[in-house]
Structure 1
Amino acid sequence: MNISDQLSITAKGNPSKTAYIFQGEKTSYMELEGAVTKFASSLKELGYEKGDHIALVSGNSPYYVIGLYGALRLGLTVIPINPIYTVEEMRYILKNGDVKGVITMDLFMDKFVALASDFPEIHHYIVGDTGADVSHAQKLLNDKMKSFTGLMRTAELSLERPTIDDEDVAIILYTSGTTGKPKGAMLTHKNVYSNAKDVADYLKYSPEDKVIATLPMFHVFCFTVALNAPLMNGGTVLILPRFSPEDVFKVAKDEKATVFAGVPTMYNYLLQGGEAHKTDFESIRLCISGGASMPVALLKQFEQAFQVIVSEGYGLSEASPVTCFNPLDRPRKAGSIGQNIWNVENKVVDELGDEVPVGEVGELVVRGPNVMKGYYKLPEETAVSLRDGWLYTGDMAKVDEEGYFYIVDRKKDMILVGGYNVYPREVEEVLYQHPNVTEVAVVGAPDPNLGEAVQAFVVVNDTITEDQLLDYCREHLAKYKLPTVIEFLDELPKNTTGKILRKNLRDRVTQ
Structure 2
Amino acid sequence: MTDNCPAPFNMAAYVLAAGALTPDKIALEILRASGAERWSFARLESAVRGTGTGLAALGLPPGARVLLRLGNSVDFPLAYLGALAVGLVPVPTSTALTAPEITTMARALSPALVIAAEGVALPDHPAPVLTLNALRAMRDLPPCDYDMGPPDRAGYIVFTSGSGGRPRAVVHAHRAVWARRMMWGGWYGLRRDDRMMHAGAFNWTYTLGTGLMDPWAIGATALVCEPGAPLGLLMRRHDATIFAAVPGVYRQLLDRARMRALPRLRHGLSAGEKLPDSTRAAWNAATGTRIYEALGMSECSTYISGSPARPAPEGALGYPQAGRRVTVLNGDDGILAIHRSDPGLMLGYLGPDGAPHLPLQDDWFVTGDRVKQAPDGAITYLGRDDDMMNAGGFRVSPLEVEHALAAHPALDDLAVTDVEIRPGVWIIAAFYTAASAVDDAALMGFAAERLARYKQPRLYRHLPTLPRGANGKLSRRALRAQIKADDDRA
How big is the shift at 1:379? 8.4
Alpha-carbon contact 1:455-1:485 (below 8 Å) kept: no
Contact preservation (8 Å) 1:289, 1:310: yes
What's 1:391 paired with?
A: 365
Report deviation, 1:25.
2.4
1: CA distance between counterparts of 2:165 and 2:13? 37
State the partner residue of 1:20.
28
Query: CA separation of 1:235/1:380 partners in 2, compared to 1, >3 Å: closer, same or farther?
Result: closer
CA distances 1:298-345 after superposition (whole Å, capped 9, x unpaired): 2222222221111010100011x1111103124433443211112113
Q: Choose the corresponding residue for 1:347, options 327, 351, 354.
A: 327
Say which of 364, 367, 370 aligns to 2:344: 370
Q: State the alpha-carbon separation in 1 of the partners of residues 84 and 52 from structure 2.
A: 8
What RMSD, in angstroms, separates the aligned Cα atoms of the two structures? 3.1
Match of 2:307 among 327, 334, 341: 327
**Structural mapping, 1:281-300, within 5 Å:** 281-300=262-281
List alignment gaps of at least 5 residues for structure 2.
1-8, 390-416, 432-465
> Which SS does the other structure have where 1:225 is aligned?
helix
Q: How far did residue 45 of structure 1 move?
A: 1.3
Distance (Å, rounded) in 2 between the aligned partners of 1:413 and 1:401: 29
Normalised to the residue count of structure 2, the TM-score between the two structures is 0.76
More helix by share: 1
8 Å Cα contact 1:457-1:488 kept in structure 2: no
Q: 1:310 to 1:457 in 2, by over 3 A?
A: farther
8 Å CA contact retained: 1:172, 1:186 = yes
1:410 to 367, 370, 384: 384
SS at match of 1:91: helix
TM-fit CA distance, 1:106? 1.9
Secondary structure of the residue aligned to 2:84 is helix
Give the match's secondary structure for 1:6: helix
Change (3 A) 1:363 1:39: same
Partners of 2:353 and 2:246 lie apart in 1 by: 32
Does the C-alpha gap of structure 1 residues 278 and 51 become closer, same or farther in structure 2, counting only changes over 3 Å?
same
What residue in structure 2 maps to residue 500 of structure 1? none
Give the structure 1 partner of residue 250 of structure 2. 267
Q: How does 1:53-452 map to 2 (within 5 A)?
A: 53-108=65-120, 111-112=121-122, 115=123, 118-120=124-126, 122-127=127-132, 147-153=134-140, 155-156=141-142, 158-177=143-162, 179-195=164-180, 197-202=181-186, 203-242=188-227, 244=228, 247-275=230-258, 277-279=259-261, 281-319=262-300, 321-350=301-330, 356=331, 358=332, 360=333, 362-367=334-339, 368-377=342-351, 385-413=359-387, 432=423, 439-440=425-426, 446=467, 452=475
Q: Could you tell me how far 1:48 is from its partner in structure 2?
A: 2.5
2: distance between equivalents of 1:440 and 1:152?
Answer: 42
Check if 1:33 corresponds to 2:45. yes
Cα distance, 1:447–1:105 mapped onto 2, change above 3 Å: same
Counterpart of 1:133? Answer: none
Q: Which has the higher contact order (CA 8 A, sep 6+)?
A: 2
Instruction: Note the alpha carbon deviations across 1:268-321, whole angstroms, 9 max, x for none.
Output: 11111231x313x332112111101112222222222221111010100011x1
Distance 1:94 1:32 in 2: 29
TM-score by length of 1: 0.73
Amino acid at match of 1:123: P
Structure 1 residue runs without a partner (length 5+)? 129-146, 351-355, 416-423, 433-437, 459-465, 467-482, 490-511
Q: Report if aligned partners of 1:200, 1:230 keep a CA contact under 8 Å in 2.
A: no
Q: Which residue of 1 aligns with 2:451?
A: none
SS in 1 for 2:299: helix
The alpha-carbon distance between structure 1 residues 102 and 382, as it changes in their structure 2 partners (threshold 3 A), is closer
- What is the DSSP-based 3-state SS (H/G/I as helix, E as strand, rest coil) of the residue aligned with 1:408? strand
**Secondary structure of 1:387 counterpart:** coil
DSSP-derived class of the 2:167 partner: coil
What count of residue pairs does the alignment treat as equivalent? Answer: 410
Structure-2 separation of matches of 1:487 and 1:378: 48
Amino acid at match of 2:293: E
